[in-house]
Amino acid sequence: DKIVPYAKGIARGWDKPSFSNKVDDPFSYGMLTEQEDNILIGIKQMKQDQDMAMNCRGGPMFFPHLREEEKKISEKKLQGLRLQYDSWTSSISYKACLRCRNVTMEDAQMSSLELCAGEEGMSQALGMVGFNTTTLDNDLKRSATSKLSLDELEGRITTGNIVHHPHMNKTFSVVWAAPECRTWSKAQNGRYRNKDFIDGFRNRALEAHAQQARRDIESLVNILSYYRERNPNLIIVIENPVGYLRLHPVSGLFK
C-alpha cells in the first residue's frame, strides 16, 4: 500500500532476492512466489536497461538504436561460436573424451544411462523390461544414482577420473539425455532468448541461465562422444522441446 520511488527501491536492494526476517521492514520477504520472482526479474532488467542507456531510461527494450547495437554484438559472438564449433572435434576437451580404447562390451548389454534424469521416468520404463539403469542429476532432491552436473561429469572424463567413479565408469547400450530445456523453450515467451538473441539477452538478469544451458549442450556432446567411443553401437536419444535449440549453432555439434 506504499509507493516507493524506483531509485529508492534499488538502493534498498529490491533487485536482489532477500531472505530477511526483519519484522520492522514491511517490504522484506522470505521465499519468493513465482509472481514475485517475475517482478524481481523485471526490476533487474529495468535496472540493467537503465544502466546501459545511461540518461535514457528503458534501455534496448525501448530504444531501437540500442537494440540494433545489441544485435550486432550478439551476431558477432555467434560468429565466434560457429567457428569454434566447426573445429570442435579438434578441441582439447573433445579429444580428451576419446581417449578410451578397446573397452570390452560385456557390460554394455541391456544397460542404460539417463542424463538429467529428473523423475527418472525413462529409467523406470527400461528397468521394467530388464535394463540395468543408471541415472544422473545434480538436483540433490532427486534420487539419481549420481549427483553430478553435466560439466562435472565431463570434467571427470577429460581428466581420466571417470575410472574411479563407481557408477559412471561403464559401457552402456542406451543413453537418454534430457538437458535443461527451460531457456530453449518457446513456452517461456522470450524470457531467456529469442530469434534475434538466440544466445540469450546480453547484460540481462537471466543471461547466465541461457549461457549455462549452452555450456550444458557443449558438455553433453563430449559426454555422448565418450560413451559412443566405448560402444560404437550405442543408442542415443536427446529429449528437448521444439524451440530455440535447433536455431542455435551449438545444435550443429549433434551431427
Beta-carbon contacts of residue 110 (< 8 Å; ≥ 6 apart): 130, 131, 132, 173
pLDDT at 98 (0 to 100): 84
State the amino acid at position 183 in one-letter form.
T
Instruction: Tell me how crowded residue 144 is: count the other CB atoms within 10 A of its CB.
Output: 22
pLDDT at 24 (0 to 100): 44
Per-residue pLDDT of the chain (255 residues; tens, 9 = 90+): 445 555 666 666 655 554 444 444 444 444 555 555 556 666 666 666 555 554 444 445 445 566 778 888 889 999 999 999 999 999 999 999 887 654 555 556 789 999 999 999 999 999 999 999 999 999 888 889 999 999 999 999 999 999 899 999 999 999 999 998 889 988 887 788 888 889 988 777 788 899 999 999 999 999 999 999 999 999 999 988 778 999 999 999 987
Q: How far is CA 219 from CA 85, 135, 179, 226, 240, in A?
A: 13, 17, 10, 11, 16
pLDDT at 48 (0 to 100): 61
pLDDT at 155 (0 to 100): 94
Q: How far is CA 185 from CA 41, 167, 194, in A?
A: 18, 31, 10
**pTM greater than 0.95 (yes/no):** no
